[in-house]
Chains A and B, each alone.
Chain A
């Protein structure tokens, strides 16, 4: 494995060593930050040159967000120095950082949905004459910024809320460029994009790179990092855990640096035995879905974002109306509301952890036990002591990192929040787990744990009936590695399920993009 200080050669062939010979556009040296007793960052170095894409990778909690918050001026470092174009830079607020030329595009976009594209792009620096907005000039400037991105198809006059997420992201990037940013930070920019949009975003990043911008690219997806970055830096436990030229590093090696060990086998596969049918879906609309799921089986649903996968799951679970067709869970036929579904032994894990998966202000214990409070007392009573005891058991079983059962869910990292949401299904002891993007936006170690957990649930264990799992994911290796069968959803229609051991990611992607008829499987 390459050491962090070892020299590589960037795409432009310029020398690069323990310290940069060419002047970096931006650099951080020896950044330290502690929160109480926790050391979040312990002397991190990072530099990025003009016309370079630097990938910043690491698990959740590795210190990426803290580092970016310091860069964006939202947090002050305890020690260490930052320089922009060789000049010392100590932002005391996000505004100072932006004025100095650093623009951060966060996962959650920060746009005013009711304003037009041009107003959003020029927010805070609107051209005005005698105090009146100069609309023609606004339109011109905005159109130029969008054209610079190669996306002049976006109408500067359109209201932002009418645009797709991908287009909104472009508007935000255009705003960063219009404000004259020198360093562009993209934080998990592809997490809510479909494949085509990702390709377009990558083309844009390359274009910005060619324009000489310095780009810091934060991502969980090693494949993406390989595709777009020139160099990479791995953070682990607040320290620089490796880095170098991306071309010389294998994905395995990068993941190894992130987790601190070689990932042995991300997808365990215990012996499984197909049991009784537990979910029967017949001609269900929306979704045009027909399939049967058995105990001891994992059925995956692949497809692009917007193909209607989430809607299908929500319809099965009673969160959206059945338009036509038939659902049967265990012995219960017909459409039922969510409270009935839980009673029938089914549980849904939402794809949207913040908006639907968890109550951020409530404790871990409340979040974990909400669907089944009856073991904690008779006649509608709840004993908090017993509730917390149960929660503590799940916290230790799943290795949820938190201060205790009474900590607010919002204070946990993404991976640990997801474990809490999943633990809810385990606490309820559901027989049918409906999982929508179970590992979205969480770190590799948590992913591995969740895979192992799901595998254990469907394993053929004597004396305990196996569960059944229906899982939607946009991450194909996950579906192929985890599932017994995979079906592909394309434009609102679910294809036939295929044997996961025989299907390739390439075939799934072909079906998902409509390049192949979705129901051509055996």
Chain B
């Protein structure tokens, strides 16, 4: 691990501690009560899951605006499959697979048409949202109760695990993505593509293939986020997670990712997602109105990027 990466992570972590301390002081000690911490973890899980994939995309110098729509599609597919008497495993995998196909389409459009990812995914954001609404006939889809509904519920099935299984899933996949980025050829190549695509091509990296893979993976993570979203709602909802892509991107950026590519860490991203949750929960528990929440979150995003500029200018 490089010293620079440690500093990068460190400062995001300092931000987290600061935000926690401020709201701790405002709200009181109950802010740090185990139940409240678990609430925060549950709240972070969906954005965090989607942000794992977004971290890879942003490291590779891309962006994916379609993740919010993909999450909604995933919940719809899951609900439809459950309604069709498929098992919860099949339903969840179906949701993830449908999402991965959306990502595959993103990747193919970006590499074949050579259109910038911002535009392609802006388009697929609408297309996928439309598809989800069409599939669901513009309604919420009720589905029979299964263990999928308990993924984010603590103490379900009398388990003794400290955290709900959905959170463990996020943590496990976070370790996986972190390992992929840091310790595999694929991961190192993503950094190379994001940092200098022409160089990557010269060095024999199959840039197109990597990009398709990374967009498919990112959408699959969004689909897994959709599984958690379904668990929270216990229905398939084609209108859920509108604008969530911006929270996901913000988490990566607060966590030290660069929209220019070549930078980003999973740990930073998760800390970034947690900071945003703290602000949301802190504001609502302090009884602050929504607009204050938005002011603070926006300020944090700009502050994080400004801090990063200052840091890189100094080095």
Residues of A within 8 A of B198 (CB): 355-356
Residues of B within 8 A of A350 (CB): 199, 202
A339 sits at the interface (CB 8 A):
yes
Docked-complex contact B184 and A339, CB < 8 angstroms: no
Docked-complex contact B4 and A406, CB < 8 angstroms: yes
B200 sits at the interface (CB 8 A):
yes
A276 sits at the interface (CB 8 A):
no
Complex Cα distance, B191 from A358, in Å, reads 12
Complex Cα distance, B147 from A224, in Å, reads 78
Binds B, one of A78-86, A250-258, A360-368, A452-460: A360-368
B160 sits at the interface (CB 8 A):
no
Complex Cα distance, B186 from A377, in Å, reads 13
Complex Cα distance, B201 from A362, in Å, reads 15
B291 sits at the interface (CB 8 A):
no
Binds B, one of A116-124, A379-387, A478-486, A492-500: A379-387
Docked-complex contact B192 and A360, CB < 8 angstroms: no
Residues of A within 8 A of B196 (CB): 355-356, 358-362
Q: Which of B186, B198, B200, B202 has the most CB of A within 10 A?
A: B202
Known: A356-B196, A359-B199, A361-B262. A382 touches B205 (CB 8 A): no
Known: A338-B201, A339-B205, A342-B204. A366 touches B185 (CB 8 A): no
Docked-complex contact B195 and A356, CB < 8 angstroms: no
Least Cβ distance of B188 to chain A in Å? 6
Docked-complex contact B188 and A366, CB < 8 angstroms: yes
Least Cβ distance of B181 to chain A in Å? 10
Docked-complex contact B203 and A384, CB < 8 angstroms: no
Docked-complex contact A382 and B187, CB < 8 angstroms: yes
Docked-complex contact A338 and B202, CB < 8 angstroms: yes
Docked-complex contact A382 and B184, CB < 8 angstroms: yes
B313 sits at the interface (CB 8 A):
no
Residues of B within 8 A of A382 (CB): 183-185, 187-188
Contact of A358 among B2, B182, B188, B199 (CB under 8 A): B199
User: How many residues of A sit at the interface, in one of the four size bands?
Assistant: 35 or more
Docked-complex contact B195 and A338, CB < 8 angstroms: no
B139 sits at the interface (CB 8 A):
no
* B169-196 contact mask (Cβ, 8 Å, vs A): 1 or 0: 0000000000000111111110110011
B315 sits at the interface (CB 8 A):
yes
B311 sits at the interface (CB 8 A):
no
- CB contacts under 8 Å to B, within A371-424, are 371, 373-374, 377, 380-384, 406, 408, 411, 424
- CB contacts under 8 Å to B, within A10-53, are none
A319 sits at the interface (CB 8 A):
yes
Complex Cα distance, B125 from A141, in Å, reads 50
Known: A361-B262, A373-B185, A382-B185. A366 touches B192 (CB 8 A): yes
Least Cβ distance of A74 to chain B in Å? 12
Beta-carbon nearest neighbor of A406 in chain B: B2
A218 sits at the interface (CB 8 A):
no
Residues of A within 8 A of B188 (CB): 366, 370, 373, 382
Docked-complex contact B191 and A381, CB < 8 angstroms: no
Known: A319-B202, A338-B203, A384-B182. A359 touches B192 (CB 8 A): yes
Contact of B199 among A357, A363, A411 (CB under 8 A): A357
Complex Cα distance, B1 from A317, in Å, reads 34
Beta-carbon nearest neighbor of B260 in chain A: A361
Least Cβ distance of A250 to chain B in Å? 40
B133 sits at the interface (CB 8 A):
no
Docked-complex contact B202 and A359, CB < 8 angstroms: no
B211 sits at the interface (CB 8 A):
no
How many residues of B are in contact with the other chain, CB < 8 A? Answer: 29
A234 sits at the interface (CB 8 A):
no
Complex Cα distance, B185 from A374, in Å, reads 8
A348 sits at the interface (CB 8 A):
yes
B295 sits at the interface (CB 8 A):
no
A341 sits at the interface (CB 8 A):
yes
Least Cβ distance of A426 to chain B in Å? 14
Docked-complex contact A338 and B204, CB < 8 angstroms: yes
Beta-carbon nearest neighbor of B3 in chain A: A406
Complex Cα distance, B263 from A350, in Å, reads 24
B286 sits at the interface (CB 8 A):
no
* B225-243 contact mask (Cβ, 8 Å, vs A): 1 or 0: 0000000000000000000
Complex Cα distance, B205 from A495, in Å, reads 33
Residues of B within 8 A of A341 (CB): 204
Docked-complex contact A370 and B184, CB < 8 angstroms: no
Contact of B263 among A339, A342, A348, A361 (CB under 8 A): A361
B206 sits at the interface (CB 8 A):
yes
- CB contacts under 8 Å to A, within B76-116, are none
Docked-complex contact A339 and B204, CB < 8 angstroms: yes
Residues of A within 8 A of B185 (CB): 373-374, 380-382
Residues of A within 8 A of B4 (CB): 406, 408
Docked-complex contact A383 and B203, CB < 8 angstroms: no
Residues of A within 8 A of B3 (CB): 406
Docked-complex contact B195 and A360, CB < 8 angstroms: yes
Least Cβ distance of B185 to chain A in Å? 5
Residues of A within 8 A of B203 (CB): 338, 342, 370-371, 424
Docked-complex contact A381 and B184, CB < 8 angstroms: yes
Complex Cα distance, B206 from A342, in Å, reads 12
* A114-133 contact mask (Cβ, 8 Å, vs B): 1 or 0: 00000000000000000000
Complex Cα distance, B199 from A356, in Å, reads 4
Docked-complex contact B315 and A348, CB < 8 angstroms: no
Beta-carbon nearest neighbor of B186 in chain A: A380
Docked-complex contact B204 and A356, CB < 8 angstroms: no
- CB contacts under 8 Å to B, within A428-450, are none
Beta-carbon nearest neighbor of A341 in chain B: B204
* B111-124 contact mask (Cβ, 8 Å, vs A): 1 or 0: 00000000000000
Complex Cα distance, B187 from A359, in Å, reads 15
Q: Which of B184, B204, B263 has the most CB of A within 10 A?
A: B204
Beta-carbon nearest neighbor of B193 in chain A: A359
Least Cβ distance of B29 to chain A in Å? 41
Residues of A within 8 A of B192 (CB): 359, 362, 366, 370
Beta-carbon nearest neighbor of B2 in chain A: A406
Complex Cα distance, B258 from A341, in Å, reads 32
Residues of A within 8 A of B315 (CB): 411
Docked-complex contact B183 and A383, CB < 8 angstroms: yes
Least Cβ distance of A140 to chain B in Å? 40
Docked-complex contact A359 and B262, CB < 8 angstroms: yes
Residues of B within 8 A of A359 (CB): 191-192, 195-196, 199-200, 262
Complex Cα distance, B204 from A146, in Å, reads 45
- CB contacts under 8 Å to B, within A224-266, are none
Residues of B within 8 A of A343 (CB): 204
Residues of B within 8 A of A408 (CB): 4
Q: Which of B198, B199, B200, B201 has the most CB of A within 10 A?
A: B199
Contact of A384 among B183, B200, B202 (CB under 8 A): B183
6 A-B pairs in the complex with CB atoms less than 8 angstroms apart: A361-B196, A366-B188, A370-B199, A377-B183, A380-B185, A383-B183
Excluding A359-B262, A361-B196, A382-B184, 8 further A-B contacts by CB distance (< 8 Å) are A317-B202, A338-B203, A338-B204, A340-B204, A356-B196, A362-B262, A381-B183, A384-B1
Task: Tell me the B residues contacting A by CB distance below 8 Å.
Answer: 1-4, 182-189, 191-192, 195-196, 198-206, 258, 262-263, 315
9 A-B pairs with least C-beta separation: A339-B204, A359-B195, A359-B196, A406-B2, A342-B204, A361-B262, A356-B198, A361-B195, A373-B185
